[in-house]
Homo-oligomer: A and B are copies of this chain.
């Protein structure tokens, strides 16, 4: 079932609770919702078991999105283990990095990092999941991936893709096609 929709984005979601205790979780459901305002969404599974990511976002109204790249994908995957009290940063060796005024931690080893404020949470009643929507407040990325036309070459940043629950893929650009006209 998890493979049927095609390739998925690979992102680490960084959050903290009110006391500053951090959480880091890999998500493959992050999607573009709109450009103006800049909105991003992700699916949170049912709240019946502890979901630290959702709880922390509700508490602080902030989260970070950090692209998984080919050098950190094993540590990123390991964040999906059920750590109860230990932070996934400590458990996996990934490094928390902070931005002034932002409670949620970024992942130092990620090449593309996005800071977001909570914009909305929408209940998907049919299967008791939630669509968490964030507005982009801050972005960091390597200068050399910004192309002449302002587009980003995320392949050059070593961002990777996921299929199914646990298969990681590098990519190879085939072609950038022009805006389609009749």
Chain A residues with CB under 8 Å of chain B are 1-11, 28-41, 43, 65, 67, 70, 73-74, 77-83, 91, 112, 114, 119-120, 122, 124-127, 129, 131, 133, 136, 139, 151-155, 159-161, 163-164, 166-182
Contacts and interface: CB of A to CB of B under 8 A. Distances in A.
A180 B33 contact: no
A166 B176 contact: yes
Contact of A175 (B5, B37, B168): B168
A180 B124 contact: no
Copy number in this complex?
A: 2
B32 A31 contact: no
Top 8 closest pairs, chain A to chain B, by CB:
A6-B9, A169-B171, A3-B152, A7-B161, A81-B180, A34-B127, A1-B35, A167-B176
